[in-house]
Structure 1
């Protein structure tokens, strides 16, 4: 959906009202940048900005209905549209004339584009203003992308940098860098520069240029250990040691990953969805997705046993002055029975 909206913006089909909502800030920022680029008479300094936590909506509408002075069309950014989410009367500093906004949305100014920013995970669909806004505005839902949506976004982003990337290599990129769109955008731009803006991205190029996130490596290490693949486990472990990771830190990170698996597994059984779990545990949704998609996660009893063993390893590592690398390596080589 967002790609179709961006396509229209790029073609100069600018609508009078946009609503950008969600927690994926990069999608919000990119949409605003595309609007700016598509309105050549306007630069960033001439964008009119309002903070709706400090300014009533009436001021935004009055500005929108005032004819522009030098440009054909104004670009107005109205941030923090908190009246679109569930009310918290204790935090409200400004009283907004919502009825006036509802009326204005039925006939918005033809000489202004007003962009409402609601950077929240969820809007209050029970509110009339939310329903009206969703009907009258062009809505960009800036939520974390997953699956085919994320792959399509990566391929489109690669295209803007003059390069091509297959779905398989896009997944390699995500496995190494995570699913933060800002991080992926920066990495794709770097790859595009390396390739002089042409050609097909290969696994070798990704592995050469993109640094792995430590948590991604720890996930790979933990997954290899729990599936009983000793050879792969030791190989990943040695790679991490060569990259300067310390056994004590790795033990702590692995234990954290196991605890996360326990919490996610428990919440899934209670019927929680990915975004709910991520919010409840205060972790990135992609980490939750990796665990939910992993069919090889052992039963709770085995996870608890691994955690118990890691506590013992942690004590050993902190009380020995010998080769700490060997302590964790022996742990990885021992078969685990629940």
Structure 2
């Protein structure tokens, strides 16, 4: 079952007795759980109607016993289980003994008054396990993968609409550039902007630039853009702003190394015919970050990126051994790099 179908099913009251939610997009997974809560348990019944477990601490027998037990003073109950043992490839804790066959038997005849949800914070399930095969055969497994760049944009626009506001597309794009792809942070900033716009108002590009600060990693994205465009003055001004925010030069150097390395990876994988989604899985980045990194990588040759990485490694060593003042060393690197450009 895909995520959109799962949300639609909940909205229409078609709720499965067992769900296996897996993936790295915790924001959407938490939102799915919240929709289940709204449908199954009234707010003043949540203390009695919601039970939480962790398979690292609780044997599956206890979880199934709770699932089979009739709810107390409420019509139905929701059992939420954090798991990296039963459905993922994590090793079982020596302190907890699990009997997967007990859960398999329950999944064949689940309780009518219980909804059992396993939350697996892993990108993939262990396809070799009978529990996983059973969940997929019964259409109970839901993958919560990171949203694509366009999906994130549409999600931001819809979030504003749901609050009685409008958000211009350039404003949403700038919000993504400033905050990054973390949906928790995006939601907080979007809600703040909607509050500022007022009922019936519009979230504008000017509002985003004036009210939303650049995250450190996004500032490093911007810094590499300024270096590639030979905008030395802008690059140094941005660096000084980061120093005023008490960002450590060694940390900034590490972020630059990561960004230039990712650009080199994207460039090499692009030459091999990889799609953005495949690159994201290979490198371990969000698809939106791959898109932005790819745009920056086009401005640099592979040879130039390799040279910059070597120079940053030398700078990092000099900083950590006290051979150069940290702030001055990074400033000199930025000055030299921006004067040479990307080629």
Distance in 2 (alpha carbons) for counterparts of 1:285 and 1:328: 29
From 207, 213, 216, the counterpart of 2:215: 213
- Corresponding residue to 1:122 among 118, 121, 124: 124
- Tell me the secondary structure at the aligned position of residue 5 of structure 1: helix
Once the two structures are superposed, residues 268-311 of structure 1 have per-residue CA deviations (whole angstroms, 9 ceiling, x without a partner) of 77877422322xxxx66654553245451533321133345556
Question: Which position in structure 2 is the counterpart of 1:154?
Answer: 156
Question: 5+ unaligned residues in a row in structure 2: which ranges?
Answer: none
CA deviation digits over 1:8-56, x for unaligned, max 9?
4345443322221112222222222222222343544231122223333
Distance, in Å, in 2 between the alignment partners of 1:90 and 1:168 is 49
TM-score relative to the length of structure 1 = 0.80
Name 1:277's counterpart in structure 2.
283
Post-superposition Cα deviations, 1:230-287, rounded to whole Å, max 9, x if no partner, equal 24x5325324424526794555543443244345555677877422322xxxx66654
Q: Is 1:9–2:15 an aligned residue pair?
A: no
Aligned-partner SS, 1:82: coil
CA distance in 2, matches of 1:25, 1:321: 37
Deviation at 1:146, TM superposition (A): 1.9
RMSD of aligned Cα (Å): 3.6
| Shift in alpha-carbon separation, 1:37–1:237, aligned structure 2, 3 A | farther
Matched-pair contact (CA < 8 Å) for 2:227–2:342: no
- 1:96 is matched with 99
Assess, with a 3 A threshold, how the Cα gap between structure 1 residues 302 and 62 changes in structure 2: closer, same or farther.
same
In structure 2, distance between residues paired with 1:247 and 1:51? 38
- Note if contact 1:17-1:136 (Cα within 8 Å) is conserved in structure 2: no
1:37 aligns with 2:38: yes
Tell me if the contact between 1:177 and 1:213 (Cα under 8 Å) persists in the aligned partners: yes
Deviations 1:100-120 (A, max 9, x none): 433432332211111111111
Aligned twin of 2:340: 335
SS state at 1:54 partner? coil
SS in 2 for 1:84: coil
Matches within 5 A, 1:218-233: 218-226=220-228, 229-231=229-231, 233=232
Partner of 1:261: 263
Distance in 2 (alpha carbons) for counterparts of 1:326 and 1:81: 44
Asked if structure 1 preserves the Cα contact closer than 8 Å seen for 2:177 and 2:218, the reply is yes
Name the count of aligned residue pairs.
Answer: 330
Deviation at 1:225, TM superposition (A): 2.0
Scaled by the length of structure 2, the TM-score of the pair is 0.79
Q: Distance in 2 between matches of 1:320 and 1:133?
A: 57
Which residue matches 2:176? 174
Three-state SS of the structure 2 residue aligned to 1:211 is: coil
The Cα of 1:212 is off from its aligned counterpart by 0.8
1:67 is aligned to 70
In structure 2, what is the Cα distance between the partners aligned to 1:165 and 1:60?
45
Deviates further, 300-309 or 74-83: 300-309
Whole-angstrom distance in 1 between the partners of 2:327 and 2:5: 60
Provide the C-alpha distance between the structure 2 equivalents of 1:95 and 1:152, rounded to a whole number of angstroms: 42
- The residue that corresponds to 2:86 in the other structure is 83
Q: Quick one: distance in 1 between partners of 2:172 and 2:89?
A: 37
SS in 2 for 1:101: helix
